[in-house]
Chain A
Amino acid sequence: MGHGLDTDHGLIGPCDYEDIAVLTKGARQGRELTGVARVSAALWRRAWLRAALTLSPPLAWFLIIYLASLVVMLVTAFWTVNSFTNNLQHQLSLTNFGALFDAPIPAIIGRTILIAALVTVTDAVLALPFAYFMARVATRRVRNALFVAVLLPLWASYLARVYAWIVILTKDGTLDWATQRLGLGAPNIAYTNLAMGIVFCYIWLPFMILPVYAALERIPDSFIEASADLGARNARTLRSVVLPLALPGVVAGSIFTFSLTLGDYITPLLIGSGSGTNLIGNIIYDNIGLANNLPFAAALAMVPIAIMIAYLLGARALGAFEAM
């Protein structure tokens, strides 16, 4: 340094220049070669950046499409509708939440929860022996056949299956025909809450069988053998080993059956009579389509969400999410 000014090379002296030239050349080459590599290196050094980049597209989708739409719904619940033009009035008010406590909405909410609970219990009772047979008794071939049998209805349209049940339950339908042949009279139960419950049980049953099957299948044979070795009979093994281990599966399945019943509006529309058979789902549907009262529909839609949050917290306490 300090050999004097070289106009061509600024302040850098001749001997330094040689070295620096070599260095820059090398560095330049390096930079050209490792453009991608440097990004990769930066990502390697900063794990949080890597995670953020990987996660941001699905996270953006989740936040914008899913959460934001829920928030829009929540905000809508605070608006009102101009009773004349049906236009939304964007002034915040609690009217819609107040209206949730007006008769008959509390009764409809209660009816919905009751039917959802009964459907869930019925499906659990039906699914447990079926899933046990599939998981622990059936041969591979029979098990595959049963899998197809459980999943087959899901391939057909929901509407077609509900209409099929109308044909079965209606006056002089398949059920009436069968019971009359047996001399039991004609129950004629179409267009009742019972009919709705039966259809729900049928439609959601696969969603209960599959998680229960998954839970039962994971029980190691050694547990059953150990139970027997310790002197437990079958009933005791079932009660003390199989059922507790199946419980997380039942709870996981109940999340499906319960939440699906809670939100359904097609079955009450088609197989309910509309007279004392309204559920939360079809009241929301009526308020969107018939009454065009979107804000009240949004407020009412908050009810199943609140119920499900409480239900999921309870399910987590029972360890349901370990089975999923």
Chain B
Amino acid sequence: MKNRTFFRGRAQRAVVAIALALPILAAFDSGTVAASGTTVRTAAGALTPPTQGMKPQQSVGKGEGELNLIAWEGYAQPEWVKPFERETGCTVNAKYAGSSSEMVSLMADGGGGQYDLVSASGDADLRLIYGGDVKPVNVKLVPAWKQLRPFLQSPDFNTINGVHYGISLQFGPNDLLYSTKVFPTAPPSWSVIYSKQYAGKITIPNNPIQIADAALYLSVHQPKLGITDPYELTQSQFNAAVSLLKQQRPLIKAYWNLASDEISLFANGEAVVGAAWPYQTGQLQAAKVKVADTIPSEGATGWADSWLLAAKAPHPNCAYKWLAYISTAKVQAEQAVNYGETPDNSLACPLMNQLQKGSCDSLHANEPDAYFKSIKFWKTPLAQCDNGQDNCVPFQQWATAWTQITG
């Protein structure tokens, strides 16, 4: 009995104290390490990516036998992964991420060094580049890079100060999906998703970046706010967008999390109009559901994805082999048709039509540059606006506001 009390008393308290103290000590210790990885601000106030000075490799050597990708679901399909593995001997291990933020945290997990490439969208690119998680890429080692449409060779979402951190992949719009039973002709404006007329039959993505869609709508309908870029909002512009979304909330049937959620909402008629991707339209039309999609007069937000090279990529040669392979017209066409998005390689159009008749037109692969320019691509909302002033609302606040909107 005495022994037990002893053990319960002093020894237990000592062990618990040690167990509690260790992680706290570790936490303080790592505080000193964290400072070294932060972004550098130059005297002019411009930001410099921490890995900008890293020399990219000049040639591609023998493959390492493995390639670890972080990808959107559907971006590493066996149709094009299997031929790549046979050709190069690099076994592809793909980890699917559910959101841009998850991609950012996966890339940083364990100090990096697990993954080689990430198929990041514009809203994650800058976070990865300025976070020091990705490093410069030598575009000379990617032959098909020259075939990319000119404005996608060095876009501002993956090229900073003339340094490339990745290779552009595919893009697509966040368009308006509607039931043709309710709308015989395409709605000309996004106003339908803010209209009481369709209360309880509207669905939009459950994602803070949706605030940009509201801002885009307000840039046309409330010009007094002076919104020029839906991702660079001052506090008053941001508040206006959030208040529009709060008014919209009672009209929403559901905020969808997965593309498949929205597909079932439309398939069983619970939603008749909503914000979507062309992917959902294709799936629903294939299932004979009477729907169509459109880009209304205000324009649309969208995504432009790139493969970015991890700063500590363990298999750099296989990574370069993948960048070269995935950029070729044939593979670009395969992915575009398979996923339902627009390829960046300018030679992909005829190959798409071979895979699926009319797919080049329906996926806008041969549209002039104006089409691309009409889409406001996702980028990370930063505190520092493009004009160099620090009065924009950063993404963290977008996320907080999104919780306030959805309740």
Let me know if B255 and A87 touch, CB within 8 A: no
Answer whether A104 and B108 are a contact pair too, CB < 8 Å, given A83-B383, A273-B254, A293-B399. no
Of B4, B108, B404, which one neighbours A87 at CB under 8 angstroms?
Answer: B108
For residue A63, CB closer than 8 A to chain B, the reply is yes
In the docked arrangement, what's the CA distance between A28 and B274, Å?
Answer: 89
Sort chain A's interface into a size bin. Answer: 35 or more
Known: A68-B19, A86-B105, A99-B400. A51 touches B34 (CB 8 A): no
**Interface residue? B43 (CB, 8 A):** no
Give chain B residues whose Cβ lies under 8 Å from the Cβ of A91. 31
Interface locus among B53-61, B95-103, B294-302, B316-324 = B95-103
Question: Complex formed: what's the CA distance from A293 to B395 in Å?
Answer: 11
Query: Are B255 and A274 closer than 8 Å at their CB atoms?
Result: yes
Assess the B407–A276 pair: CB atoms within 8 A: yes
Tell yes or no: B183 within 8 A of A by CB: no
Instruction: Report yes or no: B23 in contact with A104, Cβ–Cβ below 8 A.
Output: no
Q: In whole angstroms, how far apart are the Cα atoms of A87 and B128 in the complex?
A: 10
CB distance from A65 to the nearest CB of B (A): 10
Q: State which of B34, B270, B407 has its C-beta within 8 Å of the C-beta of A90.
A: B34
For B15, what are the chain A residues with a Cβ–Cβ distance below 8 Å? Answer: 59, 63
B321 to chain A, nearest CB (A): 30
Give the tally of cross-chain contacts (CB within 8 A).
152
A47–B6 Cα distance when bound, in Å, is 11
- Cα-based distance from A105 to B101 in the complex (angstroms): 21
Residue of A nearest to B103 (CB): A292
Task: Check A262 for interface membership: any CB of B closer than 8 A.
Answer: no
Give chain B nearest CB distance to A9 CB in angstroms.
Answer: 45
Picked from A172, A188, A191, A292, the residue with its CB within 8 Å of the CB of B104 is A292
Per-position 1/0 for A85-119, Cβ under 8 A of B? 11111110000000100111101100000000000
Report if B355 contacts A (CB, 8 A).
no
Given known contacts A81-B396, A99-B400, A293-B399, A63 and B37 CB-to-CB distance under 8 angstroms: no
**A235, CB-defined interface residue at 8 Å:** no
A287 to B399, CA, bound (A): 8
Decide: B249 and A276 in contact? CB cutoff 8 A: yes
In the complex, are the beta carbons of A104 and B407 less than 8 A apart? Answer: yes
Q: A51-B7, A90-B28 are in contact. Are A289 and B404 (CB under 8 A)?
A: no
CB-CB under 8 A from B254, the residues of chain A are: 191, 273-275
The reply to whether A103 and B98 contact each other, CB–CB distance below 8 Å, is no
Are A51 and B4 touching (Cβ within 8 A)?
Answer: yes
Residue-wise, chain B 377-407 has the 8 Å CB interface mask toward A (1 for contact) of 0000011100000000011110110111011
Nearest-neighbor residue (CB-CB) of A80 within chain B? B396
| Inter-chain contact A278/B22, CB cutoff 8 Å | no
Closest Cβ–Cβ distance, residue B95 to chain A (whole Å): 14
With A63-B15, A191-B253, A276-B249 as contacts: A85 and B269 at CB distance below 8 Å: no
A292 in contact with B404 (CB, 8 Å): no
Interchain CA distance A195-B4 in the complex, whole Å: 50
Distance (whole angstroms) from the CB of A275 to the closest CB of chain B? 5
Q: How far is the CA of A75 from the CA of B3 in the complex (A)?
A: 34
Contact indicator per residue, chain A 153-178, by CB within 8 Å of chain B (1) or not (0): 00000000000001000111100000
Chain B residue at smallest Cβ distance from A191: B254
Q: Is the interface of B mostly helix, strand, loop or mixed?
A: helix
Is B206 close to A, CB under 8 A? yes
Q: In whole angstroms, how far apart are the Cα atoms of A48 and B6 in the complex?
A: 8
| Contact pattern, B 211-245, Cβ under 8 Å of A = 1, otherwise 0 | 00000000000000000000000000000000000
What mask results when residues 210 to 253 of chain A are scored 1 for a CB within 8 Å of chain B, else 0?
A: 00000000000000000000000000000000000000000000
* Contacts of B291-330 to chain A: CB distance below 8 A: none
A137 at the interface (CB under 8 A from B): no
B270 x A85 contact (CB < 8 A): no
Q: Is the CB of B268 within 8 A of A170?
A: yes
User: Which residues of chain A are near B132, meaning CB under 8 Å?
Assistant: 85
> Does B208 lie within 8 Å of A172, measured CB to CB?
no
B30 touches A90 (CB 8 A): yes
| Chain B residues whose CB sits within 8 angstroms of the CB of A286 once the complex forms | 399, 403
Within 8 Å of chain B (Cβ to Cβ): is A36? no
For residue B252, CB closer than 8 A to chain A, the reply is yes
List, in ascending order, chain A residues with CB within 8 A of B24's CB: 71, 75
Cα A104 to Cα B95 in complex, Å, equals: 34
Whether A289 lies near B268 (C-beta < 8 A) is: no
Nearest to A89 among chain B residues (CB) is B34
Question: Closest CB-CB distance, B208 to chain A, in whole Å?
Answer: 7
The answer to whether B407 and A68 touch across the interface, beta carbons within 8 angstroms, is no
Give which listed residue, B20, B249, B396, contacts A291 with CB less than 8 A: B396
- Asked if B382 contacts A275 (CB within 8 A), the reply is no
Q: Is the CB of B257 within 8 A of A269?
A: yes
Tell whether, in the assembled complex, residue B34 and residue A103 are in contact, meaning their CB atoms are under 8 Å apart.
no
The closest CB in chain A to the CB of B204 belongs to A274
Neighbouring A residues of B44 by C-beta, 8 Å: none
A103 and B395 alpha carbons, distance in the complex (Å): 18
Q: Given A51-B7, A83-B395, A289-B98, are A275 and B130 neighbors across the interface (CB < 8 Å)?
A: no
Contact with B along A265-307 (1 / 0, CB 8 A): 0000100011111100001001111111110000000000000
Contact between A67 and B399 (Cβ–Cβ < 8 Å)? no
Residues 248-282 of B, flagged 1 when their CB comes within 8 A of A and 0 if not, give 01101111110000001000111000000000000
Interfacial residues, chain A to chain B (CB-CB below 8 A): 47-48, 51-52, 55, 59, 63-64, 67-68, 71-72, 75-76, 79, 81-91, 99, 102-105, 107-108, 166, 170-173, 188, 190-191, 269, 273-278, 283, 286-294
Known A-B contacts: A51-B7, A81-B396. Give 11 more (CB < 8 A).
A79-B27, A84-B394, A85-B127, A85-B131, A273-B255, A274-B255, A275-B406, A276-B249, A278-B403, A286-B399, A292-B102
The 5 closest A-B pairs by CB, nearest first: A274-B255, A291-B399, A90-B31, A292-B101, A273-B254
A-B contact pairs, 17 of them (CB 8 A): A48-B7, A51-B3, A51-B7, A63-B16, A68-B22, A90-B31, A102-B400, A104-B403, A171-B268, A274-B257, A275-B250, A289-B98, A290-B208, A290-B399, A291-B101, A291-B395, A291-B400
